[in-house]
Amino acid sequence: MSDLVLLRRWRLALGRYAERSLPADGMSDAERRADRALDYLYAREMERRGLRRREEAMGRTGSLDATQLTPLGWLGELRDLFPQSVCETVQAHAIDNLGMRELLSDPAVLDALEPSKDLLKSLIAFKGAANPAMREKIREVTRKVVEDIVRRLRPRVDAALAGRPNRFRRSQLKSIQNFDWRATIRDNLRNWDAERGVIVADRLRFHGRSRRRLPWTIILCVDQSGSMLASTIYAAVMASILTTLPAVEVRLIVFDTSIVDLSSEAHDPVEVLMSVQLGGGTNIAAAMEYCETLITQPTRTVFALVSDFEEGGSVPHMLAATRRMASARVTLLGLGALSDDAAPVYDRRMAERLAACGMHVAALTPDRFAEWIGDVIA
């Protein structure tokens, strides 16, 4: 790579604050546009830290710069200049880190944003302050992102829930105890051998045996505190997939210091995500005590706590609820929070204490969680 190319890249990284040492004179038109688009966002952070641009420091107010960008025009520039992955990253920086909330206050701007999981996280956090028109736009974007997540996740979850065939286990359905001799004789009368006085049966009939399947209840108890947003999105999607299983009742509970039962909306992840209220404290004990009231058949119940286990309520009450459910033979799983890159982010000491009380604790991706569920209810 030539020195000139390196200098241009440094200029794009440093922006207009490097104008004195790295002037934009040698940049191409596309590089100038990229410089301007990046400057529109990242110069805000520098100004917030008190650093003024060179022309401002010299008292110069007039310029021959192009017309000032608007949020909508800036988004158009991003899409024209950068690949989608870069657009999503810069867009997330604008909303999450650099306070460009004007991106979320105009329905036209929201239409121009690239739907992504990062955008969805910002919209869910913002929706409480949105006006009715913006809430409808947020719902549209939420549906697009959720449908994309379901499309990618569903095949892996279905495969995990289906389990793996066992080549070493013979089927017992066609056993002698299931043999239907009357139907076998009736279906093979045409094969009567008069010489030998026997029926040559080429088609054997067996009774079908219905397998008694008791229903399972799966309780997803989801921490909706601010740090749990990524896990909340996947929990909502998983709940909707689990509701399609036969003989399975899904109860979906979200909590912070309050408890909300969203079981009636568990089939629709968009409604769930539009209902969650992120933030506040965390009272795991109260949520677990509420979930205990939903258990009618302990041995046919799976309780999954999705949390970072950072209890703000009563730790003794939380551990006592865990012990009570474990002693009743409820299947307990603690799903530790995962970051966007699937790294565990939860209180390990508290996780160990829950495990000591009878809860299986793991940090599982959605497909691995489905595998675990499949093993339990098979």
Residue scoring higher pLDDT (119 or 358): 358
pLDDT one-digit tens code per residue, 194-233: 777 777 777 777 655 544 456 899 999 999 876 677 788 8
Sequence letter at residue 67: T
Mean pLDDT of the region 288-305: 96
What's the rounded mean pLDDT across residues 296-316? 93
Query: Which pLDDT does position 66 carry in this prediction?
Result: 41
pLDDT of 67 reads 44
Residue 294 has pLDDT above 90, yes or no: yes
- pLDDT value for 61: 42
Lowest mean pLDDT among 66-80, 105-119, 176-190: 66-80
Look at residue 160 and tell me whether its pLDDT is greater than 70: yes
Nearest Cα to Cα of residue 218 among 161, 260, 263, 254: 263
Neighbours of 369 (CB within 10 A): 23
For the chain, the structural domain boundaries read 3-58+66-137, 179-212, 216-377
117 exposed, middle or buried (CB, 10 Å; 0-12, 13-18, 19+)? middle
- Reported as a pLDDT band with limits 50, 70 and 90, residue 301 is very high
- Please tell me the predicted confidence (pLDDT) of residue 293: 96
Position 353 scores a pLDDT of: 96
User: Could you give phi then psi for residue 273, rounded to 5 degrees?
Assistant: -70, -30
Tell which residue, 101, 110, 109, 108, has the closest CA to residue 139: 110
Share of the chain above pLDDT 70, in %: 70
- Which two tokens mark 173? 């359905």
pLDDT at 49: 63
Q: Which residue has the higher pLDDT, 18 or 247?
A: 247
More confident position, 119 or 50: 119
Q: Phi and psi at residue 338, in whole multiples of 5°?
A: -120, 145
Between CA 359 and CA 330 the distance in angstroms is: 10
Of 285 and 179, the structure prediction assigns the larger pLDDT to 285
What lies within 8 Å, CB to CB, of 178 at 6+ separation is: 206, 207, 208, 209
What is the predicted pLDDT for the residue at 266? 93
Question: pLDDT band for position 18 (50/70/90)?
Answer: low
pLDDT tens digits, one per residue of 254-285: 998 889 999 999 999 999 998 887 666 789 99
If DSSP states are collapsed to H, E and C, what string results for the chain? CCHHHHHHHHHHHHHHHHCCCCCHHHCCHHHHHHHHHHHHHHHHHHHHCCCCCHHHHCCCCCCCCCCCCCHHHHHHHHHHHCCHHHHHHHHHHHHHHCCCHHHHCCHHHHHHCCCCHHHHHHHHHHHHHCCHHHHHHHHHHHHHHHHHHHHHHHHHHHHHHHCCCCCCCCCCCCCHHHECHHHHHHHCHHHEECCCCEECCCCCCECCCCCCCCCEEEEEEEECCHHHHHHHHHHHHHHHHHCCCCCEEEEEEEECCCEEECHHHCCCHHHHHHHCCCCCCCCHHHHHHHHHCCCCCHHHEEEEEEECCCCCCCHHHHHHHHHHHHHCCCEEEEEECECCCCCECCCHHHHHHHHHCCCEEECCCHHHHHHHHHHHHC
C-alpha–C-alpha distance, residues 145 and 349, integer Å: 35
Separation CA 33–CA 289 (nearest Å):
57
**Banded pLDDT at 17 (limits 50, 70, 90):** low
Mean pLDDT, the chain, as a whole number? 78
Q: Which whole number is the average pLDDT over 76-104? A: 70
Token pair, residue 133, equals 């028109």
Distance CA 84, CA 324 (A): 50
- Give the C-alpha separation, 122 to 264, whole Å: 25
Domain 216-377 sits in which CATH superfamily? von Willebrand factor, type A domain (3.40.50.410)
CA 69/CA 78 separation, integer angstroms: 12
Average pLDDT of the segment spanning 36-51: 70
User: What's the rounded mean pLDDT across residues 21-49?
Assistant: 72
How far apart, in whole angstroms, are the C-alpha atoms of residue 42 and residue 22? 17
pLDDT at 86: 77
**Whether pLDDT at 344 is above 90:** no
pLDDT of residue 53: 52
